[in-house]
Structure 1
Amino acid sequence: MSLHPTLQPYADAWTHSIEAISELVTPLVEGEWNRRTPCPGWSVRDLVSHVIGLDCEMLGDPRPIHTLPRDLFHVTNEHQRYMEMQVDVRRHHTAPEMTSELEYTVIRRNRQLRNESRAPETKVRGPLGSEPTLEEAMRNRAFDVWVHEQDLRAALGRPGNLDSPGAYITRDELLAALPKVVAKNAGAPAGSAVVFDVHGPVEFLRTVRVDAEGRGSIDGTPSLGPAVTLTLDWETYYRLACGRVTADVVKDRIKAEGDPELTAAILLSFAVTP
């Protein structure tokens, strides 16, 4: 048996992004591993450690036994503590140690994917004792690795791959969260519609509609007389939705029309990643 067709796009996206990450970090000298990334408290080394650690967990490796320092200002909740464990345990690893472990982990994951015969709905181990399906876990890895590839590109001044396979999986993940952002978090009124017009390497137009009960839904058709229309480029969209920037930092890249209070509430609630 081979990888289920439903899972293949996630495997392809993960492979594309992880190879890009490897290409980005392999030539780095020791000091460059300490560069800050858009992730609070994380250097290039920390971010690559995170990627390695979560793929090791996908391989079924045991989590490290490690005590976190008490002075990590960016670690404020249980989810962050969970993620920090794989990072802090590698914090003093050298550049050759990092690239060697990354290369070895990629080899092992590629072998795992070649031999993967489980059904998409199979339950697997997830963070903090969760049990996502294999499909959910692979989709999350494709999403996570693409976003972190972009974090590394930002840290190293090497833009690219904004329209790679992982970008489209990221788009779909972020759009799935949009009805909740608009209807629940931002409190858009019943019967209203909010349009998102995104241009650039990944283009789309989506309308979030709020029904009479205040529930949000999303579709690809325009709305006549929306309460708010937000026009922005894809890079700004994903950076906002992934919490890499706040709206005030990129306000010159956002065109907003309609209710200013609702616009402000939507942009304030836009980040959907932990």
Structure 2
Amino acid sequence: MTVHPSLQTYADAWTHSVESIAELVKPLVEGEWNRRTPCPGWSVRDIVSHVIGMECEQLGDPRPIHTLPRDLYHVQNDHQRYMEMQVDVRRHHTAPEMTSELEYTLIRRMRQLRNESRAPETMVRAPLGAEQTLELALRMRAFDVWVHEQDLRMTLGQPGNLDSPGALIVRDTLLVGLAKVVAKDAGAPHNSAVVFDVHGPLEFLRTVRVDGEGHGSVDGAPSLGPVATLAMDWETYYRLACGRVRAQAVEDRIKVDGDQELAAEILRHFAVTP
């Protein structure tokens, strides 16, 4: 059996990104594994540890028994503590240990996906002891590994794959949170519209429309009279939405027309990832 047709897009995107990660880190010497990445608090080693750990959990492996240090400044809530466990337990692993465990884990995971016969709505393990559908789990793994691939590419000075299959999944996933950012978090006026014009390797135009009750929705149709228009390149968009950079650091890459104060509030609340 092979993966269900509705899951194939996610499986293919995950495979593309995770194989890219393996190729990026394979030639690294020991010191390069400690390089800081755009992911807050995490080094190259930490990102690879996270990928290994999350794929092991999808395989059904038990979580490590480990006590986190108390001085991890970037760990501030239960979700972050959960994610940090798989990372901190590998913080002293050597480069050969990291690459060999990554390779072995990916072999197991790819075999699992090739033999996957469960329906997309099957409930599977999720972080913090919760459950999620198999479809959501695989979509979020495709999302996660693409973003972390880009973290590594930026750190190692090897740009690429900004328009890969994973990028499309990341775009669509991030857009789900855009209506809340504009309508609720930034407090856009009722009966208004805000346009996002994104260019670069991945181009798209989306309009967030806020109705008379303050509820937001996203569509691909242009607005004739938006209260604000924000234009930026795709790399800047995803970095902002994934909390990799603050708007002040990339203001030269963002063009705003219309209500400047509203645009500033939108950008202040732009990060939608945990």
Letter in 2 for 1:92: H
1:50-199 superposed matches below 5 A = 50-199=50-199
Counterpart Cα distance in 2 of 1:181 and 1:119: 33
Residue 189 of structure 1 and its aligned partner are, at CA, apart by 1.2
3-state SS, counterpart of residue 174 of structure 1: helix
Q: Residues 230-266 of structure 1: CA distance to partner in whole angstroms, max 9, x if unpaired?
A: 0000000000000000000000000001111111110
Q: Residues 211-246 of structure 1: CA distance to partner in whole angstroms, max 9, x if unpaired?
A: 111111111110011011000000000000000000
1:197-216 superposed matches below 5 A = 197-216=197-216
Q: Residues 112-138 of structure 1: CA distance to partner in whole angstroms, max 9, x if unpaired?
A: 000101111111110012211000000
Q: Residues 121-173 of structure 1: CA distance to partner in whole angstroms, max 9, x if unpaired?
A: 11111001221100000000000000000000111111110000000000000
Counterpart Cα distance in 2 of 1:216 and 1:253: 26
Counterpart Cα distance in 2 of 1:238 and 1:172: 11
3-state SS, counterpart of residue 248 of structure 1: helix
Residue equivalent to 1:42: 42
1:244-263 superposed matches below 5 A = 244-263=244-263
Counterpart Cα distance in 1 of 2:184 and 2:122: 31
3-state SS, counterpart of residue 209 of structure 1: strand
Q: Residues 165-190 of structure 1: CA distance to partner in whole angstroms, max 9, x if unpaired?
A: 00000000011111111111111111
3-state SS, counterpart of residue 198 of structure 1: strand
Counterpart Cα distance in 2 of 1:136 and 1:98: 27
Residue 2 of structure 1 and its aligned partner are, at CA, apart by 2.1
3-state SS, counterpart of residue 252 of structure 2: helix
Q: Residues 12-56 of structure 1: CA distance to partner in whole angstroms, max 9, x if unpaired?
A: 000000000000000000000000001121110011000100000
Counterpart Cα distance in 1 of 2:22 and 2:142: 15
Counterpart Cα distance in 1 of 2:180 and 2:73: 29
Which stretches of structure 1, 4 residues or more, deviate above 3 A after TM superposition? Answer: none
3-state SS, counterpart of residue 181 of structure 1: helix
Counterpart check, 1:9 vs 2:6: no
Counterpart Cα distance in 1 of 2:46 and 2:233: 28
Letter in 1 for 2:169: I
Please provide the CA RMSD for this pair: 0.6
Residue equivalent to 1:223: 223
Residue equivalent to 1:236: 236
Counterpart Cα distance in 1 of 2:72 and 2:218: 39
Letter in 1 for 2:147: V
3-state SS, counterpart of residue 55 of structure 1: helix
* Residue segments in structure 2 that go unaligned for 5+ positions in a row: none
Letter in 2 for 1:61: D
* Residue segments in structure 1 that go unaligned for 5+ positions in a row: none
3-state SS, counterpart of residue 6 of structure 2: coil
Q: Give TM-score, length-normalised by structure 2.
A: 0.99
Counterpart Cα distance in 1 of 2:218 and 2:69: 43
Counterpart Cα distance in 2 of 1:190 and 1:121: 37
